């Protein structure tokens, strides 16, 4: 069940009605059933995996919490890691590594007979695997107590607003909230609905509209050249942000209506001034997961600069691999890691140069320059994210540097309806304005300052834009594939 489907528009009010109507002590059971139904709507068979993952981590964490022996605790942690990562590896990465090994063996003149499996990728497996793993590690590290009620733990794993595409919640944040009684609150419900509305606008009006252009360019390598590709790269930057942050907004808004505050997943990444900062604003729940559970484990900053650089590179390569089992994603992650390392190494030099040429005196110019560079890093690596193969990405990158003057109507006509180009441009401007307000004023403050009628006008515009300009073809969210 996609958030941007009619099915969800019917499902969610039913859940809300039940949630507020049912006495508190049964609410979480109702939510658990709803969450399983939500997942079953995709593919009932894969619910077995979630149940398996839930049982594994529940029993492992209970035993870890009960055991005083360090060896037993460690072994139980390994059991959890092996089962969870094993399932993730099998469904998501087996074919990729199998193909890669086959290529190497064939290159060396050998024969390789292990064939790929043809199972579908279970929706949201990367998200809930990381969520349950984080929980078990936290119990092992004694950061949290193990949840004793199996079904409540099951709800933590499957809580439907964030089940299939995050935010990857931490147990210490979510589980206590699932135990807490919430009364109906007008402001909380209103804010949640507004956030959901904004999420729908981002997904259905902006991301899915721009997707027409980017798909045409990235799925037809070799056809388009020059400016057309750079526009596609920029559009993709906007598309993936609106797609994923739109999903996160809907998830956070939906949970918020029910009294659960999910962690923030995006914090105006367009205004990041370094690649490092960009990743602290982009998919925050994943980045902080890697920081807390992998970067620190690898040594992080504690063991000198070389170890830190190595940790960054490894974390970003795995970050890329998390996004998808292709070399494209690994390269995408690697390039971003490399830019972070470069910045860490050259930070002082860059500062000196800027100082020398007097750039630091002009804060705005410096900021705009920094933001542009960070955006350019993402924009120029877009082909790796969007194309299907490595060679397709190379063709797109090569063609992006070919000098060809495109007629503006050619660019506009890549959209099925020319008016969509102008709507996209307008929508991007609005998006940047909202992001600007959020970054420098704060949306809540801004909402408090504007007259009440204006707020209603804005809400009406939001709803109308979905009705009149929303793409109702229920396109998948890009991050579902991860």
Partner 1 sequence: MRKDKILKYSIYILGVFCLCIFIFIRVKYGLQFIQNAPFCHDGGDLYRQNYITDFREPLPPFSNINQKNKYELPWYTNSPKHPSFDSADIVCVGDSYFFFHWLTTFPERLQDETGEKVYYYNGYNPMQPFMNAAYKKGRKKVLIYEMGERGLMHYLIQRMPLNPEPEKKTNEDDSFCLLLSKNDIERKYNRVLQRGMFIADLYEKIATFKFRTFEYINYKTPVYCLNPSWLFVKESVNNSESSFFYQHTDKEIQTLCDNLKRIQTKLKEEYNMELVFMPIPSKISIYHSLVFENEEYNNFLPRLYKGLDILQIPYVDLYHSFVKCSDTLYYRTDTHWNEKGITIAINKTIEKLTEIGYNNDKANNECQ
DSSP class of residue 291 equals I
**Min dist. Cβ of residue 452 to partner 1 (A):** 13
Active site residue 283: no
Residue 186 or 306 having the CB closest to partner 1: 186
Min dist. Cβ of residue 31 to partner 1 (A): 15
Contact residues: partner 1, CB under 8 A = 5-7, 9-11, 13-14, 16-18, 20-21, 40-41, 184-186, 189-190, 416-417, 419, 467-468, 474
Nearer to partner 1, 188 or 267 (CB): 188
Q: How far is the CB of 10 from partner 1 (least distance, A)?
A: 4
The one catalytic residue in 117, 283, 323, 336 is 323
Instruction: Give the HSE-up count for residue 161: Cα atoms under 13 Å, Cβ half-sphere.
Output: 27
Angle, vertex CA 61, rays to CA 59 and CA 64, nearest 5: 110
What are the tokens at 462? 């939001």
Tokens of 294: 């992998």
Smallest distance from partner 1 to CB 190, Å? 7
* Residues 2 and 476 sit within 8 Å (Cβ to Cβ): yes
**Which DSSP helix (H) or strand (E) runs through 278?**
helix 275-281
Angle between the N-to-C axes of helices 304-323 and 327-356, in degrees from 0 to 180, rounded to the nearest 10: 130
Hey, CA dihedral for 258, 263, 269, 271, is it positive or negative?
positive
Rank residues 306 and 468 by Cβ distance to partner 1 and give the closer one: 468
Q: Is 441 or 467 the residue whose CB approaches partner 1 more closely?
A: 467
Helix extents (H) in 47-149: 47-66, 70-88, 94-107, 125-140
Tell me the DSSP string of 89-115. Answer: IIIIIHHHHHHHHHHHHHHTT----PP
Task: Give burial (CB, 10 Å; 0-12/13-18/19+) of 178.
Answer: buried
Closest approach of partner 1 to the CB of residue 209, in Å: 11
CB of 198 to partner 1, least distance (A): 19
* Closer Cβ to partner 1, 14 or 429, answer by number: 14
Cβ distance to partner 1 smaller for residue 19 or 385: 19
Q: What is the DSSP letter of 316?
A: H
- Measured distance CA(272)–CA(279) in Å, rounded: 9
Whether the CB-CB separation of 125 and 49 falls below 8 Å is answered with yes
Catalytic residue set: 323
């Amino acid at each position: 069940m996609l958030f941007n489907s009619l099915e969800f528009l019917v499902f969610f009010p039913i859940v809300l009605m039940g949630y507020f109507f049912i006495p508190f002590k049964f609410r979480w059971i109702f939510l658990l059933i709803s969450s399983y139904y939500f997942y079953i709507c995709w593919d009932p068979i894969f619910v077995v995996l979630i149940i398996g993952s839930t049982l594994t981590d529940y029993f492992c964490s209970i035993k870890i919490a009960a055991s005083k022996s360090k060896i037993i605790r460690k072994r139980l942690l390994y059991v959890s890691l092996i089962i969870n990562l094993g399932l993730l590896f099998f469904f998501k990465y087996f074919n990729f590594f199998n193909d890669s090994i086959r290529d190497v063996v064939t290159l060396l003149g050998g024969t390789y007979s292990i064939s790929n499996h043809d199972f579908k990728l279970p929706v949201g497996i990367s998200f809930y695997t990381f969520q349950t793993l984080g929980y078990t590690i936290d119990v092992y590290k004694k950061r949290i107590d193990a949840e004793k009620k199996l079904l409540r733990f099951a709800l933590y794993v499957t809580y439907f607003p964030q089940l299939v595409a995050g935010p990857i919640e931490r147990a210490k944040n979510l589980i206590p909230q699932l135990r807490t009684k919430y009364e109906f609150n007008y402001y909380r419900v209103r804010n949640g609905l507004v956030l959901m509305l904004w999420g729908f606008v981002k997904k259905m009006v902006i991301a899915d509209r721009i997707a027409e252009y980017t798909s045409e360019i990235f799925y037809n390598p070799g056809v388009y050249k020059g400016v057309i590709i750079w526009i596609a790269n920029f559009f993709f930057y906007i598309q993936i942000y609106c797609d994923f942050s739109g999903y996160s907004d809907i998830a956070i808004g939906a949970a918020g209506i029910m009294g659960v505050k999910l962690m923030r997943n995006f914090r105006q990444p367009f205004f990041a001034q370094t690649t490092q900062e960009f990743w602290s604003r982009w998919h925050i729940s994943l980045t902080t997961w890697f920081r807390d559970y992998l970067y620190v484990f690898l040594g992080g900053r504690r063991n000198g600069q070389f170890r830190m650089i190595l940790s960054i590179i490894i974390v970003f390569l795995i970050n890329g691999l998390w996004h998808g089992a292709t070399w494209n994603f690994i390269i995408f992650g690697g390039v971003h890691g490399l830019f972070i390392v470069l910045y860490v190494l050259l930070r002082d030099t860059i500062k000196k140069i800027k100082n020398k040429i007097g750039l630091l005196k002009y804060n705005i110019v410096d900021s705009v320059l920094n933001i542009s560079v960070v955006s350019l890093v993402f924009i120029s690596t877009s082909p790796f994210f969007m194309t299907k193969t490595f060679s397709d990405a190379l063709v797109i990158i090569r063609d992006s540097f070919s000098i060809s003057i495109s007629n503006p109507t050619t660019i506009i006509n890549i959209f099925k309806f020319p008016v969509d180009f102008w709507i996209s441009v307008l929508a991007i401007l609005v998006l940047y304005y909202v992001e600007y307000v959020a970054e420098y004023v704060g949306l809540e403050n801004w909402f408090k300052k504007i007259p009440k009628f204006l707020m209603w006008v804005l809400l009406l515009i939001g709803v109308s834009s979905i009705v009149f300009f929303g793409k109702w073809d229920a396109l998948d969210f890009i991050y579902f594939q991860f």
